Amino acid sequence: MNELHLSENLVRLRHKKKLTQEEVADFMGVTKASVSKWEKGQNTPDLLLIPRLAAFFDVTVDELIGYEAQLSPEQIRRQYAELSRGFACLPFSAALEKVRDLAHRYYACYPFLLQLCVLYWNHFMLAETKEEREQLLQEAVGWCDRILENCSEVGVCSDALILKAGLNLQLGKAAEAIEDLEPAADPSRLAGQNGAILVRAYQAVGEYEKARSYIQAKYYLDLLNLVGDAVLFLSQQEGSWNQCKETMRRIKGIMELYHLEELHPNVAAQFYYQSAAASAIHGKEEESWNALRCFERCVEKLLRTEQIALHGDSYFDLLDAWIERLPLGSMVPRDKSFIRQNLREALHHPAFDCIKEKEEFQKMVRRLAEEGGNFVKD
């Protein structure tokens, strides 16, 4: 995080140009004593003199005063990681104050503002009251609107639109989410073919490595999206056990084939959890137990990992380089502590009422509590 460094920059720029304080004073129409006070930080130039000073030293005003309106991708990652840790370790109000301070300071850095929206979406549930949670979500919607109105980066705007729709849905404004997403979400639109066209274009100009990297990343994301869609599908199939059973069979086979438990245990855990819930709702106790055991296995992998990070493997061998180019790099959006905190709610879902008193279920809860640092309790 950079503060303003006008005094230090005046000294550095004057020495770089091999000028004396008198020469600077003569050009600016002030006394040498005034320049000396500027450089010592005892006083600051009048506002109208700042652009003239910047022109004299042949730098921008931002460079002169040391203000960075934009953060680099690496700086955005560091800031996000620090803010995410703050939500895990600090009082909620203190963590929130840090976020808002940075939002105000970098209000024109739209990629950073976008990640602050992601941060809010992943941590708003920590607010004590419903009103506070809604206020945070609405604040993030406002940031999305600012991005959409002012940002010229297509990718950032596209992500902001999706985030805005998700935030509105969380706020109970489903109609607004539909209005935002429906025009671009039609599966028949040509936008669905942009990946194939881009790959062929890379190949046409001889950029074969870019083509391979892109298609491998898309391939990986399509797999994750397929599992995510199956989770949604299972949640909507309460009346059809045959559909649920076949969905679980097919997706589990795909996950095993592509080693998704190792590549992305969080996505795998979501699938197994929804499978367990769907099975329990249909009274299929054995199937529910099998899915819960797989869920427990994935959660243990997440909790035992020193630092959760996205990664490739020997098959997705170009994935790591692509991941490093993501806005947050290999870092996941939530701190590991939130996995622990969410376990209690997950295992107390009404779907498991029929088995929650059984000893095997209680043992599972205790094992995860021990693994998760006693964040989950009976």
pLDDT of 185 over the 90 cut: no
CA angle 227, 322, 180 (to 5 degrees): 55
Lowest-pLDDT choice from 165-169, 283-287, 359-363: 359-363
Average pLDDT value over all residues in the chain: 87
* HEC per residue, 337-355: HHHHHHHHHHHCCHHHCCC
Return the percentage of the chain with pLDDT > 90, whole number: 56
- Does residue 302 contact residue 262 with C-beta atoms inside 8 Å? no
pLDDT at 343: 73
pLDDT of 140 over the 90 cut: yes
Q: How confident is the model at residue 349 (pLDDT cuts 50, 70, 90)?
A: confident
Q: How confident is the model at residue 332 (pLDDT cuts 50, 70, 90)?
A: low
Task: Write out pLDDT tens, residues 106-119.
Answer: 888 999 999 999 99
pLDDT at 277: 92
Over range 266-279, report the average pLDDT.
93
* More confident: 254 or 283: 254
* More confident: 365 or 224: 224
Take residue 275 and report the two structure tokens written for it: 């499978």
Lowest-pLDDT choice from 67-76, 134-143, 189-198: 189-198
Residues in contact with 216: Cβ distance below 8 Å, sequence separation at least 6, in sequence order = 316, 317, 318, 319, 322
pLDDT at 373: 42
- Does residue 292 contact residue 367 with C-beta atoms inside 8 Å? no
pLDDT at 45: 92
Q: Is the pTM of this model over 0.75?
A: no
pLDDT of 374 over the 50 cut: no
Give the Cα separation of 378 and 18 in Å (integer): 72
Task: Write out pLDDT tens, residues 36-77.
Answer: 999 998 999 998 899 999 999 988 888 888 776 788 888 999
